[in-house]
Structure 1
Amino acid sequence: MFCSCYPCCRVRPSCTLVNLRAILCQPCADQSQTTLVSKLEALQCHFTWDLDTSRSKLFRCRERFEDFFTEDRHSWLGHIYKLRGFIEYKLGFTEEAQSFFNKATEAFRQMRNADEGPWLVVNYGNLAWLHHHLGDPAESEAYLTKVDTLMKKYQSPAQDELHPEIYAEKAWTFIRFSTDKMLLAADYFQRAIRMQPDMVEWHTYHPGAPGRVSQVKLVSGKGPD
């Protein structure tokens, strides 16, 4: 039995499965970790969107979102749960973070009347990052596989563009969390609506920041960051 980088880390015949992991060479583990991190960094999710995570900002947003949780049919409830999960993680509450991410999955299941769809790509990306930070690479890889499966099954209608569900959620998140990215958020909403014009809430959403998205001058000629 040999490790993938044989001959540098040949396993001795006398070794048992119990101590196999301890014998495998460090380069193998390092390479695996590097590959996992590269996959995580390529995701579109709250962990990769360069959000302002100062504690004062996190506490203000958490307090604001608590008012929404009495509205079970709020059209953005799944998105709120996802952002709340990210906030809880950044504040150091990992169990609460996972709970909110799981609530987001259930909220979308009820709102969309479907067990899966492109709206879960961001949430599965969040869960992949969460399990990575919790030191569980196997579970992180499992969620990366789910993301990959959804991306292949629900491809963007426009070549070289994000899926409209991802554009819309990224735009909503920027509006709720990063007012300095309002112009970019407006552009993302415009892209989402152009590809999927039947989503009423994308047209009518009124952000907490001053002015409607439709009143913000759109940024032209920019692709996804």
Structure 2
Amino acid sequence: MAGCDLQHQLESMECHFNWELDCSPSSLQKLQRDLEDRLRCGCNWMRHVYNDLGYVLHVQGLKDEALEILIKGQTYIKTETTYHGDCSLLMNQANMAWVYYHKGELEKSQACLEEVARLQKEFPTPEGSQMHPVLIAQKGWTLMKFENSPKRCAIECFKMALTGNPEKKNLHKGLALAMEKSYTKEDFKGNPGLQREVIDQLKKARDKYKNEDVCLGALYLVNSLACGDMCEEALDEANKLADKLIASGEISGLSNLLYLLMARLKNFDKAIEVTEKMLEMFPQSTRVKRNLANCLKRKAFLLPKESEERLPLLKRSSDLSKDMNPTTVKDSLDLAKLHACAGDNDAAEHQYKSLLDREEQLTDAEKQLVLLRYGDYYMFHHKSPNLSVESFMRAVNIPAEHRHTCIKRLVHIVRYGSHERCEEICSFLLNLLCESCRDIGELFLRK
């Protein structure tokens, strides 16, 4: 009975465990690596990092490691004598109570809840609010980090937090980032004024920071350029942001700046130059290494295959990626492709086979993506058409999101008409169709 009462108390707490955070296993691994990188290299929101990382470790079954991080977070937060530091301790203690509960240490869990109750009395929720503004804001920041969590709820979190703290610049930044991350091109098509709202909020937040925040400055330019604004001054502004980033001695804003330089301004040399300087400052940072590998790869893929510059860029990119010891399926596949493009087929083959060897640990979507990429490798790099067909057929039999792409690969082979297994492939594809559709399907394949 006491255990049930304890669980009921835990479920009423505002913390990560009760916010329905959702993330795929591979994305959790990537998030863990990024959060650990921020602990090593430092950032402006360490209180959040400890809470986020503690939850991420727990979700992956690493309960002892999660507790260790949360205890370190507790120590760190207590060294901050600010009002916000004490409020952050509320979430830290609620998360810790959950971890102790799952470890079966109910007395320690109850002790954490008693500390939460004490802090709630010391820092009561303002009248008319359902939740303390600091906790609302922390919930907003947290929702933005988890892959499948409702990003638009983060927008509402920051709006609610701003009602009590309208001048707080980090809340304006949170709202701007939540809006920028939540809305898509499809949203903008249906509501032409929405993108202007996002740009206006980015500008408002940027001005709150006196144009010194690189992340906000880069995203403001990215969205302005998408609307046809600031085209003439964009390059100069981007160069100023790059100088500010290097002078700041912080990594925050790097990925946003690189997106501006590469995706919008097509200035790959400047992107590489900035990231090389950041790597000199943070030689152990996985985020900087990943960004530099991406810059080198993207520049290489734009060069003609016969370019002498292309191969060294791909080799350096693959070396950086390998040095990071990729753990996610996507990162491992990207590394395999880099090896193949750099002409190292043995390394590419090893990477693909190591993924297939742990097939049982992959989700259907991940398994299908591995087989699709493996088939592409055999088709375009290894020139083994039979093996590519086998891989595509296996992928088609998995009911996941890349199935249509795999079918298109096989249809292309049939319609090209030179493969010795065209009849077999055609029959395989027709068997996927319902009986009434097979005649139409056969006509389509034979065209």
The TM-score range, normalised by the shorter chain, is 0.7 to 0.9
TM-score by length of 2: 0.38
1:78–1:103: 8 Å Cα contact kept in structure 2? Answer: no
Partner Cα separation in structure 2 for residue 207 and residue 101 of structure 1:
29
Q: Matched residues in 2 for 1:101 and 1:136: separation?
A: 15
What do the CA deviations read for 1:71-117 (whole angstroms, capped 9, x no partner)?
43x22111011111111111121221012112222332344457962
The residue number in structure 2 matching 1:63 is: 33
Taking only the aligned residue pairs, the percentage that are identical comes to: 26
Change (3 A) 1:109 1:115: farther
Q: Tell me which residue corresponds to 1:150.
A: 119
Task: Pick from 119, 122, 132 the counterpart of residue 163 of structure 1.
Answer: 132
Which letter maps to 1:40? L
Contact 1:122–1:166 at 8 Å: present in 2 too?
yes
Corresponding residue number in structure 2 for 1:81: 50
- Is 2:184 the counterpart of 1:215? no
- Is 1:45 matched up with 2:28? no
Once residues 202 and 184 of structure 1 are traced to their aligned partners in structure 2, the CA distance between those partners, rounded to angstroms, is 14
Please point out which of 91, 94, 112 is paired with 2:60: 91
Deviations 1:37-67 (A, max 9, x none): 1001111111111111432221121122233
| Equivalence map 1:1-225=2 (5 Å) | 31-72=1-42, 74-113=43-82, 117-178=86-147, 180-197=149-166, 199-205=168-174, 211=180, 215=198
Aligned equivalents of 2:78, 2:89: Cα separation in 1: 9
Distance 1:115 1:106 in 2: 15
CA contact (8 A) 1:58 1:87 kept: yes
Paired residue secondary structure (1:87): helix
- Between 197-206 and 119-128, the greater mean CA deviation after superposition: 197-206
The size of the alignment, in residue pairs, is 187
Cα separation, 1, equivalents of 2:152 and 2:11:
24
Distance in 2 (CA, whole Å) between partners of 1:199 and 1:209 is 16
Higher helix share: 2
Give RMSD over aligned pairs.
2.9
Deviation at 1:128, TM superposition (A): 0.5
Distance in 2, Cα, partners of 1:190 & 1:206: 7
Q: Quote the Cα distance in structure 1 between the aligned partners of 2:35 and 2:176.
A: 13
What 5-or-longer segments of structure 1 have no aligned partner?
Answer: 1-30, 219-225
Distance 1:206 1:65 in 2: 21
User: Do the aligned partners of 1:158 and 1:195 also contact (CA within 8 Å) in 2?
Assistant: no
| Offset from partner CA, 1:151-181 (integer Å, 9 cap, x none) | 1211122324200111011000001114551
Q: Which has the higher contact order (CA 8 A, sep 6+)?
A: 1
Aligned to 1:183, what secondary structure does the other structure show?
Answer: helix
**Contact 2:154/2:178 (8 A) holds in 1:** no
Answer yes or no: is the 8 Å Cα contact 2:93–2:113 preserved in 1. Answer: yes
Secondary structure, in 3 states, of the residue corresponding to 1:211?
Answer: helix
Q: What CA distance in whole angstroms lies between the structure 1 residues aligned with 2:115 and 2:176? A: 30
Distance 1:172 1:125, change over 3 A: same
TM-score, structure 1 length as denominator? 0.73
Work out whether residues 90 and 119 of structure 2, in 8 Å CA contact, stay in contact via their aligned partners in 1: yes
- Contact 2:140–2:157 under 8 Å retained in 1: yes
Q: For 2:96, what is the secondary structure of its paired residue?
A: helix
